[in-house]
Structure 1
Amino acid sequence: MAEETQPRWESKLIAELKGPTPGQVWPFLEDFCYLHKLLPTLDMCQQVEGVPGQPGLVRYVASTTFGDGSDPSKIKWANERLIVMDPNDKCFSYEVLDNNIGLKSYVATIRVMPMNDQDDKMVGCMIEWSFVADPVEGWGGQDMMSFFDFCLQSMAKKIESAIQETSG
């Protein structure tokens, strides 16, 4: 009997930053191992192998937010590999290699783009987080999108605050 395949989950999430330019926002995102400084749900993000900023770089991310940090079996973690880094287009793509979260296949792209008003005047920028993933047992697709949207909005607020502090 053939195995029934579920449709892959795909989503594109947007965070709007009023004021900052893509050039001001990009430095916070182009460091692939800086994620724990932006994401309140992560305790650790460190380089495992590879060259910073180059495809092939692997990072280890871990969180105790969703469990008891004193119990190693409750720590959620993933190894993620940088696939593409394009500073000119201010975007990068990565894939999850190994994890204990239940992801079997996950590829994401993060992109920073200008945001213009009706008169085509730049008024800030957008961070776009798009991903394709196989369904995760115990999660609904909407659960994953809601969680990632929370992460993206949190990152955007942290970046906005950091830019305001340095320029104000």
Structure 2
Amino acid sequence: MSPNSHSKMEEEQKKDELQWNAKLKVKLTGPTADQIWYFLYDDYFNLHKWLPNLSVCRPVEGKLVELGCVRYCVGADILSQDGKCNVVSWANEKLVAVDIEQKSFTYEIVDGNIGFNSYVSTMKVVDKDDDGCCWIEWSFVVDPIEGWKFEDLVSMFELGLQGMARRMEDASV
């Protein structure tokens, strides 16, 4: 191994240590994996129907489920960086990868006011297990956010994922 490749590996390892990443899972009883895949992927511009803390999700650029399409999402109020007033949080999310066979897609935040310098997320629907239930996996990699704790971010995502699962179960009856 050359000295340069060793230093590149060290740089990548340090970068990984500086990023927050998590994989969250929720079990759904009742709906099929195909139904959940439709809700998440085929209805990509309507995430607000499923994710409780979103009030708006609409297309900004591109055609539905076409790589590179961008959706605009508006969520709950957050504190501004000066900590004095609330502002509405928003983000533009770009679809960057899709694996239809594995029922997964990846998107990244390309603009917004949430404080993410870098955010990439993958959502995956896992087919039924031995109990006859399917799962949603939501993983993300994000640069640490000033003023936030990793545990708080994970908790927020977990609550959103649980709420999403309940809405999808109710819609699939």
- Range of TM-score over shorter length: 0.7 to 0.9
Aligned partners of 1:76 and 1:99: how far apart in 2?
A: 8
Which residue identity is paired with 2:60?
A: V
Displacement of 1:13? 0.1
TM-score by length of 2: 0.82
The aligned residue for residue 153 of structure 1 is 162
The aligned residue for residue 57 of structure 2 is 45
Kindly report the root-mean-square deviation, in angstroms, between the aligned alpha carbons of the 2 structures: 2.0
The aligned residue for residue 26 of structure 1 is 37
Aligned partners of 1:52 and 1:115: how far apart in 2?
A: 27
Displacement of 1:67? 5.6
Q: Which runs of 5+ in 2 are unaligned?
A: 1-13, 80-85
The aligned residue for residue 97 of structure 1 is 110
Considering fraction of residues, name the structure with more helix.
2
Work out whether residues 30 and 172 of structure 2, in 8 Å CA contact, stay in contact via their aligned partners in 1.
Answer: no
Decide which of 54, 59, 74 is 2:87's aligned counterpart: 74
Which residue identity is paired with 1:154?
A: G
TM-score by length of 1: 0.84
Decide which of 16, 23, 28 is 1:17's aligned counterpart: 28
Displacement of 1:75? 1.2
Work out whether residues 54 and 85 of structure 1, in 8 Å CA contact, stay in contact via their aligned partners in 2.
Answer: no
Secondary structure of the equivalent of 1:13? Answer: strand
- Asked whether 1:61 is paired with 2:70, we answer no
Give the fraction of aligned pairs with identical amino acids, expressed as a percent.
44
Displacement of 1:43? 1.1
| Superposed structure 1 runs of 4+ greater than 3 Å apart | none
Q: Which runs of 5+ in 1 are unaligned?
A: none
The aligned residue for residue 6 of structure 2 is none
Work out whether residues 108 and 132 of structure 1, in 8 Å CA contact, stay in contact via their aligned partners in 2.
Answer: yes
